[in-house]
Amino acid sequence: MLKVALTGNIGSGKTTASKIFSIMGVPIFDADNVAKQLYDKPDVIQKLIELFGYEIVDGKDNINKSMLANIVFKDNSKLKILTNFIHPLVKQEFKKWYSNLSTNIKYCIHESAVIFEGNFIDDIDYVITITAPKHIRYQRVMERNGWSEELINMRENNQIPEEKKIKLSDYVIINDEKQALLPQLIDIHNNLLKK
């Protein structure tokens, strides 16, 4: 079974594309969601406290994800510490998930904003990048998350530029609200089924 990465910068439309692929019967591994779930595991919480201190814990001994994000997205060295700890755990979860899939399936999708940055690319056969103009992406995130432009910039500055992702990809989806999304996804789906 092929392992296909679906990536794109913040607000590009990865989740929407994943939902459509899922409707077409493709299993989806949502790396960002898996990482968020890892933050609830006691051993992960303990290690994060060791790495970043008690200020990242709320009153119920849970990780305050916005506080942690605020720390790491302002300091590249701290972001590197976090990614060096979390990304290998996400990789392990992907391997477990993948090993439980039916062998009848032609391909699965590993959805992650940081396929390249997180060194997930080693396990991937093909990469799909979804793109959208910056002003559209930012507008989507502001409406969805209520984030400021400054906060979006802070996060995006830690991702490799869209142009570089496009060059490293096998397929590119344009999600600019002008070109229809569905035909592009169906074309890629049909192409992957022939691999």
Q: pLDDT tens digits, residue range 80-136?
A: 999 999 999 999 999 999 999 988 999 999 999 889 887 788 889 999 999 999 999
Superfamily of domain 2-193: P-loop containing nucleotide triphosphate hydrolases (3.40.50.300)
Q: Is-contact 74 157, C-beta < 8 A?
A: no
Structure tokens at 35: 């990482």
Q: How far apart are CA 163 and CA 109, in angstroms?
A: 22
Task: Please give the pLDDT value at position 126.
Answer: 97
Q: How far apart are CA 32 and CA 156, in angstroms?
A: 15
Please report which confidence band the pLDDT of residue 176 belongs to, taking 50, 70 and 90 as the band edges.
Answer: very high
The domains of the chain are located at 2-193
Task: Please give the pLDDT value at position 121.
Answer: 86
Q: pLDDT tens digits, residue range 13-26?
A: 999 999 999 999 99
Q: How far apart are CA 107 and CA 130, in angstroms?
A: 18
Task: Please give the pLDDT value at position 122.
Answer: 83
Structure tokens at 148: 């400021």
Residues with Cβ < 8 Å from 122, sequence gap 6 or more? none
Structure tokens at 92: 């392990």
Task: Please give the pLDDT value at position 59.
Answer: 78
pLDDT mean over 127-148: 93
pLDDT at 65 over 80: yes
pLDDT mean over 131-144: 93
Q: How is residue 102 annotated by DSSP?
A: -
Lowest mean pLDDT among 78-82, 170-174, 190-194: 78-82
pLDDT mean over 126-155: 92
The average confidence (pLDDT) of the chain is: 92
Q: How far apart are CA 32 and CA 42, in angstroms?
A: 19
Q: Does pTM surpass 0.85?
A: yes
